[in-house]
Amino acid sequence: MSTRARAERRALPVELVSEIIDIVAPQESNNPHPVTYMSNADQEAFRTLVAASLVSHSWNAVCRRHIFHTVFMFSSNTSTRLSFLHFQAPHLAEYIRRLYVWWNDDDPRPASECQWLAECLYRMKNFRELILVSILAGLPTERRILAAGAMPILYASRLRKLSLRDWDFAEDAYDLPGMLSPTLEELVLENIRTENIEMEAPPTTHLAALRRLVLVDTVHPMLSAENIIECRCLQYLELQWLHDTDSWNMPPWIPASLSEFALISSSRCALPNFGQTIRPSVVKVTLFGNYGPLSGLFTWIKDCIDRLPFPNLIKVLKISILKSFSTPTGVDGFLPETSDYEMLSRFLQPLWRDGVLENFALTIITSIDGDHDVAPDSARESVKLNAAFAGLLPANVSDVRFIVGEQFNFRMTRATVVDMRWGIQRL
């Protein structure tokens, strides 16, 4: 028997190799990062994948679908990098499921000279997610990536998630709704700026497959226009607004059947207007409150939830408060007073007694300069919480949990990160 034949007999079955590589590969994330910015564990896993890809041709084929699952192109000369993928490495296209493009090009060529881009994107037969980031504002339409040939892939039936970040549609507000494929299941708009354009009688864009919508610091006429978007199957909406500006509103085309709503804001922001129709059963509020006492933050959250059209239909309510500035006052400086808990309890009692509220969870996170032992705090907070929420008992009450971590603050001194979690569930 030849040496090659003996080696082939000792080789692991490719199915087993595939299972092992699946375990070794970094876990897929909704917020991808290039290797340089991965955690140490994910960086080590990626290096292992690269090394394993050199073992044999069969191992290489297995590893490629993990190594090239997400491709990042966020640098200058974006079109040059895409050109390399298209002309020099077309065999890699079938492995790409997520493409992250930082469109930072100042390519003066007209769209007619970039038709290969559409061919490049079409070749990605397993392509599912596109993340387009731009720092170029106010460019002529024909010099945008859309006019360069990306529109076909935006309408490709295989595209499921689209994220647009830092785009300025300052010339034609129709550009944005016009580039949304009816097959999209998830749409993320972040830092989109189009404030001074009027849209008269805009056409309706039908997004029958859309299930998740995330709007982050986005100002666009389509967010206030009636009937510009139809997404009857939308299940999850997340609004993030951290600017200390005038009031902000729920898009009027959000369906009443929305089941889950998440709000991320700052206590310095005006309260949002939620309209008159939505009736989510799951509500999550995350509030950044670096200023003022916790009683003011609880009041902001109470007033915010009171603005919902049907707060009595909430089944699950999760409140998170993040005080990100380090404080030298110790844990007592960030934990609520008994009176704060009592105010929160009075607010919840009608939802608990007359509504359908089944589950309430409270999380408070801050950082404290230096070291801190939170062991004595757990028992004390449990006593305060049980007393304040006595009107909601009997119920399943979770123990107060403190999760302690460590970080370096802006002064480069060590700080203790304290995460307090508590919850109550109807029996």
pLDDT in tens, 37-56: 677 778 888 888 889 888 88
Q: Which of 348, 232, 332, 262 is nearest to 298 (CA)?
A: 348
pLDDT computed for residue 319 by the predictor: 95
Measure the CA angle with vertex 353, ends 350 and 359; round to 5°.
90
Which residues, listed in sequence order, are joined to residue 286 by a DSSP beta bridge? Answer: 264, 320
**249: which strand partners?**
273
**CA separation (Å) from 364 to 282, 290, 319, 418, 421?**
19, 12, 8, 8, 7
Burial degree of 250 (CB within 10 A; 0-12, 13-18, 19+): buried
Give phi and psi for 29, each to the nearest 5: -120, 150
Residue 46 in any domain: the answer is yes
Domain-located, residue 81:
no
- The answer to whether residues 221 and 198 touch, using CB atoms and an 8 Å cutoff, is yes
Q: What does the alpha-carbon distance between residue 330 and residue 380 come to, in Å, rounded to a whole number?
A: 15
353 class by beta-carbon count within 10 Å (0-12 exposed, 13-18 middle, 19+ buried): exposed
Long-range contacts from 307-311, C-beta under 8 angstroms, 24+ separation: 307/271, 307/272, 307/273, 307/274, 308/274, 308/278, 308/280, 308/283, 309/274, 309/275, 309/276, 309/277, 309/278, 309/279, 310/278, 310/279, 311/351, 311/355
Structural domain ending residue among the three candidates 18, 42, 67: 67
Strand residues in 156-211 grouped as ranges (E)? 161-165, 186-190, 205-206
Last residue of a domain, one of 67, 89, 105: 67
Residue 363's nearest CA partner among 404, 318, 327 is 318
Residue 424 lies in a domain: yes
Number of domains in the chain: 2
For residue 412, what pLDDT is reported?
Answer: 41
The answer to whether the CB of 162 falls within 8 A of the CB of 127 is no
Residue 361, Cβ density class (10 Å: 0-12 exposed, 13-18 middle, ≥19 buried): middle
3-class DSSP state of 11: coil
What is residue 54's three-state secondary structure?
coil
Q: What is the pLDDT of residue 140?
A: 34
pLDDT number for residue 213: 96
The string of pLDDT tens digits covering residues 8-40 is 556 778 888 888 888 888 776 666 677 776 777
Name the CA dihedral angle for 15, 19, 24, 29, rounded to a multiple of 10 degrees.
120
Nearest to 398 by CA among 387, 385, 407, 388: 385
pLDDT tens by residue, 235-266: 999 999 887 666 678 899 999 999 999 999 98
pLDDT mean for each 10 residues of the chain (427 residues): 54 83 76 71 85 89 88 73 85 88 59 65 82 59 46 67 77 64 89 65 83 89 80 95 74 94 90 91 91 82 93 95 61 74 90 89 78 71 85 75 60 62 83
What's the pLDDT at 408? 45
Phi/psi at 296 (5° precision): -65, -35
- Classify residue 312: in a domain, yes or no: yes
Give the model's pLDDT for residue 237.
97
Residue 180's identity, in one-letter code, is L
Q: Radius of gyration over alpha carbons of the chain, in Å?
A: 26
Could you tell me if residue 165 is inside a domain? no
* Containing structural domain, residue 46: 1-67
Of 350, 364, 362, 360, nearest to 396 by C-alpha is: 360
pLDDT of residue 316: 96
Would residue 2 count as lying in a domain?
yes
Residue 292 counted as domain residue: yes
The token pair at 389 is: 């929420």
pTM (predicted TM-score): 0.83
* CA-wise closest residue to 281 among 311, 320, 319: 311
pLDDT value at position 212? 97
Smallest Cα–Cα separation from 94: which of 67, 66, 127?
127
